[in-house]
A and B are shown apart, each in its own frame.
Chain A
């Protein structure tokens, strides 16, 4: 191999174009990553970020465009070729075998037996060197999401990459883990491994990255130093319009009666048991529940919606009615509205039209059934109203739910519940995997609903969102809910400690059980 002088950009891509059957995913996109640089690739969902990095990593073939790697023109036909060039990638969804150890998982990714010699020691060395604590002999099943991510990073670092691509790496981490990851990434960059950091969390991009390439609708729209811009400015470039600043909400009156009460709610579940969860939300109030995934959020949501009935009727009270043993339909009848985390397959039926999905949860409160038959006119009118009021980008009520992007479908599902005018609204992960524009619209709608006097419960892993919306914050860990604190008196650190600390306790319980 030729030796190249370490000058000039590490990677230059120009005119990258990729046409998919229904959309032009990349339209003459260019990207330049310098050596020792942490470079952000920013854009909404569907802006073309994934397509671009998949072309770098050899997963997707470009229709046109030129890739120059260390001053040399290259084609990258497959991930193996990318790795040989010195490009590593950590995907958002890990590919690990749960039943195998850390070492075994990494060994499986290696091409030859020779590479496996002394693997365990090399894993230990890299993990200590870069602050990625990892026990090579642990079974993956027992590891937290953060630890699993470290396996993927170590796996890449074993190849001595010149460029490490990270796709939305912090969406699964606690604030503390995020801080540690950033230390590692800065260290890597200083030692000659550039990072291409894909994210839509603009605060993180500002803190970590020296340059950002911003994409919109498959094109470059800007290249800037993110630290010199505010989050709002970055978001405006990203979505291509001005963002209004939300007006401050008036404080909740102290005497407002509670609309949603959970009273020592306990649910046994194959996933995570709920243990004595109690809370009370007044009309006009937004209470947010923070926590790391898998600590009882899904179980709590199912218990709220009525998909899992409680043992005691009084353990769930909606507007004073003991609803613990009611099913979802009865709970809606007395004013409940629910948005589960999973969109396709839970909140919506992927293969059905938007009209049918509007009907799915709205048929009772919007009176869409007449003599046992579906009132098609009213159903379509309801779906059209949701589409119009919540700016859902789609071809109309006949479009199948699965044809919508995540953000648009989420707007539709949130809109479907809000337009039923619920007295109590529970939302699990309101903006999970949703682009910034849609997230903003959803946040506005939630605040407006609370303003009109509804009690809103938000379950989220996104602390920025929680601090933006909530009046009070509680933390769920190991199926137990902490005492809610007023958002004014909480900090990201104090909430983060509860999230992480309580998890450690829960793990301890498992070990000692």
Chain B
């Protein structure tokens, strides 16, 4: 008789698979997407290479990667905190956009204000915008028990249409030949650069700092402990006297605020104006980032870099190989699928057992 595979509980969480499972997921993703590319008639090896390696070989490849990764890291950190507390904020993209709208609005309203006052005001506006969007979701959940997965996602769409309305209507650049975009921000409204004449803006520095700060909060502080207990065992959190409502509020405000910060830095750091295509789905990619990082804020840094790489790689595949834009989405989707799937190895092991007539 042939041996059969059996899944059995380990009884504890495996330390090895905690770190090996994302790597296994990545390898399986590369293999599966290779098969898909082969089915599309492309050389699988070259396509995966183009997705994951080519972007780094280009001039300024690493700078581009860092700029792309910064918003993903900021949002991924906020989301990993919320998800640890079982607060499922799916609408970071909307919070990102509202942050950009609020900050961008300030930039457009006061083009001549001095830089030292204007930029902090813009950043504050962005953070407040994100918190507003997140806070609204928290309020709906606490007040009406409305599922935050649905409301945060709906807000993401509402905010996107608000952006479209603004940049095609009241905020459209009168000298912009009718393109759906605002006027360019003035120089004093732009995010400070870390390197002259590049778009490596201050967010590239802030993102890892925020990740470290939130890691410390999560692992070492009472607040972080409250989040972890709420996520692991809601009844135990109640028993300890941790207020679920307060934690939901904090989680939504922090993840919303960080998304707003990422949004305003994207607007003032890379784009220099508001356009309808402000976010190429950063807020959704950040969800994958958070899970790839095992909801650990420090892990978000490499995870954010990897997902940024696939974003750039998608562009390269489009240009070099003529693949459709959807390649990036497919690759990221497969990655998330395997990530969640490989998690079964954390608490379980797979064993070959000899097949016998008696055992069913």
Contacts and interface: CB of A to CB of B under 8 A. Distances in A.
Given A328-B238, A338-B239, A351-B13, A345 B233 contact: yes
A347 B239 contact: yes
A137 interface: no
B57 interface: no
Contacts, number: 78
Interface stretch (A92-100, A230-238, A358-366): A358-366
Interface string B49-91: 0000000000000000000000000000000000000000000
A448 to B, nearest CB: 24
Given A78-B360, A350-B233, A352-B232, A361 B222 contact: no
A346 B233 contact: yes
B240 A328 contact: yes
Interface stretch (B190-198, B223-231, B285-293): B223-231
A356 interface: yes
A332 B357 CA distance: 58
A360 B236 contact: yes
Interface string B178-208: 0000000000000000000000000000000
Nearest to A346: B235
Nearest to B9: A21
Nearest to B347: A351
B221 A374 contact: yes
Contacts of B229: 349, 352, 360
A330 B241 contact: yes
Interface in B252-285: none
Contact of B223 (A77, A352, A372): A372
A150 to B, nearest CB: 29
B220 A345 contact: no
A402 B347 CA distance: 13
A307 interface: yes
Interface string A486-498: 0000000000000
A342 interface: yes
B235 to A, nearest CB: 5
B221 A328 contact: no
Contacts of A331: 241
A271 to B, nearest CB: 14
Given A328-B240, A329-B240, A350-B233, A78 B222 contact: no
A7 interface: no
Nearest to A348: B236
A373 interface: yes
B358 A77 contact: yes
Interface in B1-26: 11-13
6 contacts: A78-B358, A349-B232, A350-B232, A360-B236, A369-B222, A376-B220
Given A332-B241, A373-B222, A403-B12, 19 more contacts: A21-B11, A22-B11, A77-B357, A327-B243, A328-B238, A328-B239, A328-B241, A342-B235, A345-B233, A346-B235, A347-B239, A351-B232, A360-B240, A361-B240, A372-B222, A373-B220, A374-B220, A376-B220, A403-B11
Interface of B: 11-13, 220-223, 225, 228-229, 232-233, 235-236, 238-243, 356-360
